[in-house]
């Protein structure tokens, strides 16, 4: 790892951090160290990072703003590539938008709404990056990224870069081909929006933001929705009907505000959260016969 870190630094790929705690890079404020973390300064730096990772036969993981992640207490093996500053270019031409993967989704939705562009109102309260949102087909308020993405520029682990169309991305509920068949990093996304009335679009964005603020515990460290909705049921409703709202294991607590959120009360470990997830799954299965599957991505050493 020392030699790889040295070569990454010499390749000028951006910031290279050793044993960086992932708790500093996730919205849940949980996670052990990354062997090496790279914060690339451009797309070429991502490519050079993957080239060196492949040369050394090392594992790699890509993250964005860390809003849908539960990272193991033991951290992540290999190289963690964090997309953010350096991969946050935005270009809008009419109703067509090209935006790099590190751009914050809430910032994008708000900015475009002020220009009277409609289609991203649902994203007004989703605290992730564009790349992560495409990767998991993030959504809310009965819409998601598949409604606006026309194609995405993806870098695969061999360093090859390819534009994937909406159809090739194989979007479905909270997932895409990048999760299931073709692991890759979203460098850029192209969105097709619509012309709207500026005041109306911006008002709807604010309404969605306010709804999240009033009904979800984003003022506490959390990772967003823990479970996928087992339609026609809703995960939060099942948890609350099971009488689990506020239930706590260690420093991890089911939010008193919303049954599908687990918050870090200040001392939570990843194991606390995993134990609470397992308890919820067991309880809901016993009471309602419904199997609960996680939406939050659980990564790192086990």
Active-site hit among 113, 129, 176, 225 = 225
Q: What's the CA gap between 231 and 220, in Å, rounded?
A: 27
Cα–chain center distance at 190: 18
Active-site hit among 72, 174, 176, 255 = 174
Instruction: Give 16-21's long-range contacts (Cβ < 8 A, gap of 24+).
Output: 20/80, 21/75
Q: What's the CA gap between 49 and 66, in Å, rounded?
A: 20
Q: What's the CA gap between 253 and 238, in Å, rounded?
A: 16
Under 8 Å CB-to-CB from 13, ≥6 apart: which residues? 38, 40, 41, 45, 46, 48, 49
Cβ neighbour number for residue 298 with a 10 Å cutoff: 15
Question: 174 an active-site residue?
Answer: yes
Question: 214 an active-site residue?
Answer: no
The token duo for 77 is: 């093996």
Under 8 Å CB-to-CB from 292, ≥6 apart: which residues? 227, 228, 230, 235, 238, 280, 281, 284, 285
Cβ neighbour number for residue 162 with a 10 Å cutoff: 13
Evaluate whether 235 touches 260 at the Cβ level (below 8 Å): yes
Least Cα distance to 226 among 160, 129, 292, 301 occurs for 292
Q: Three-class SS of residue 42?
A: coil
82 bridge partner residues: 63
Question: 295 an active-site residue?
Answer: yes
Q: What's the CA gap between 166 and 77, in Å, rounded?
A: 32
Cβ neighbour number for residue 179 with a 10 Å cutoff: 15
- Residue numbers annotated as active site: 174, 225, 295
């Amino acid at each position: 790892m020392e030699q790889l870190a040295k070569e990454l630094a010499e390749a000028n790929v951006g910031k290279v951090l050793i044993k960086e705690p992932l708790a500093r890079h996730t919205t849940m404020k949980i996670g052990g160290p990354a062997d090496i973390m790279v914060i690339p300064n451009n797309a070429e730096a991502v490519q050079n990072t993957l080239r060196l990772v492949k040369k050394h036969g090392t594992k790699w993981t890509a993250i964005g703003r860390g809003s849908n992640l539960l990272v193991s207490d033991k951290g992540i093996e290999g190289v963690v590539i964090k997309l953010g500053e350096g991969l946050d270019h935005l270009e809008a031409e009419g109703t067509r938008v090209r935006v790099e993967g590190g751009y914050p989704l809430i910032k994008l939705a708000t900015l475009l709404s002020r220009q009277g562009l409609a289609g991203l109102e649902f994203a007004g309260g989703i605290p992730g990056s564009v790349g992560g949102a495409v990767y998991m087909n993030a959504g809310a308020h009965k819409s998601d990224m598949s409604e606006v993405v026309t194609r995405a520029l993806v870098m695969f682990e061999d360093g090859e870069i390819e534009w994937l169309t909406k159809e090739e991305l194989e979007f479905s509920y909270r997932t895409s081909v990048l999760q299931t068949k073709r692991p890759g990093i979203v460098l850029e996304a192209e969105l097709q929006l619509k012309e709207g009335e500026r005041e109306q679009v911006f008002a709807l964005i604010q309404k969605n933001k306010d709804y999240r603020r009033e009904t979800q515990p984003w003022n506490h460290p959390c990772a967003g929705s823990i479970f996928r909705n087992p339609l026609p049921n809703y995960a939060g409703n099942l948890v609350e009907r099971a009488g689990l709202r506020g239930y706590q294991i260690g420093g991890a607590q089911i939010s008193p505000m919303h049954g599908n959120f687990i918050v870090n009360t200040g001392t939570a470990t990843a194991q606390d959260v995993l134990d609470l997830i397992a308890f919820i799954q067991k309880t809901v299965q016993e009471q309602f016969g419904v199997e609960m599957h996680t939406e939050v991505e659980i990564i790192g050493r086990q």
